[in-house]
Amino acid sequence: MAALRAGLIGLGMMGRHHARVLREVGGVQLIAVADAMGDPHGAASGLPVLSGIEELIETGIDVAVVAVPTQYHEDVALRLADAGVHTLVEKPIAHTVEAGVRMRDAFAAKGLVGAVGHIERFNPALQQLRKRIQGGELGAVYQIATRRQGPFPARIADVGVGKDLASHDIDLTAWIAGSAYARVSGQTAMKSGRPHEDMVLVTGKLENGVNVNHIVNWLSPMKERLTTVTGEKGTFVADTMTGDLTFYANGTVDVEWESISSFRGVSEGDVTRFAFAKREPLRVEHEAFRDAVLGLDSDVVTMEQGLHTLEIVEAALQSARSGETVHIEQH
């Protein structure tokens, strides 16, 4: 079978990594790249840098990766859908829910694969975490809490930390738990003089009853990417910066101290740090997209799922403005 002819639009900080990985994935051939601003990182590697989406489409591509700023996702994606090109759009799916709906519907109407680049799902620590939860190693899941904080990245100018970073945690939480969000409450802060929020705190509950909490900001000098899942048998902690997964088991040793023997909580047990293969998340994501296009089983993040994530982010920002908990209407 001939390799899928791939095009990439957007050669910025994320686009350069897409260009590299597209050259490494089997069954895919990067044949064209486009960016109106040129190629600041030298990602084209011999390919001519086209000026825009129309020129990219004219090269006869089968699949495309969209790595332009969020505000341009809708326009670029709709042109690709109209041209019959399967497309992976960087997260978030769009700048507004309404734009995301139009994108989802356009790809569905054409029978095309429309995917969203929520790369954290493909982090080896989270892949292992989900697999072990599904295998019953945690028992019932009670709570999922995430912390994602660090300095402000100068490359982000068109959205706040909610859509840029919190979207990661909202997507991976629903994916790990296998459940949509039922309600959310949010708090925000704007401390860096930008027109968008640079801190967001989200508290909520999933449809399956799991409690969730997300701490996200661009105001910390300490970079942190942690997902903590607490359940019936203990707690998993996934560090997605290092790809490490640790399990803190509930203790099973009998308590002989009379004054605390009536306590019915948990105690500290064994701590296990797992060893497993750590593949680059972006490569695994591209393989999932390729497989989806080929009609194979795939864990690709669909536009429907990407849209749900954006709806939750906007609900949290709405809650921060109104001071009210927002209940999510399921479609």
Q: Write down all domains in the chain, each with its CATH number in brackets.
A: 4-118+283-301 (3.40.50.720), 121-278+310-327 (3.30.360.10)
- Lookup result for tokens 């982090």: 123
Query: pLDDT (tens digit, 9 = 90+) per residue, 90-102?
Result: 999 999 999 999 9
Model confidence at 107, pLDDT cuts 50, 70, 90, reads very high
By three-state DSSP, how is residue 270 classified? Answer: strand
At 261 the pLDDT is 52
* Secondary structure (3-state) at 240: coil
Q: How far apart are CA 185 and CA 24, in angstroms?
A: 42
For CA atoms 244, 250, 252, 258, the dihedral sign is positive
What is the mean predicted confidence (pLDDT) over 213-221? 96
Q: How far apart are CA 70 and CA 97, in angstroms?
A: 12
Name which of 240, 225, 293 is nearest 28 in CA terms. Answer: 293
Alpha helices in 25-91 (DSSP H): 53-58, 73-82
258 has a pLDDT exceeding 70: no
User: Residue 34 — left, alpha, or beta (φ > 0 → left; ψ -120 to 50 → alpha)?
Assistant: beta
CA distances from 255 to 233, 263, 295 (A): 18, 10, 55
Amino acid, res. 329: E
pTM for the whole structure? 0.91
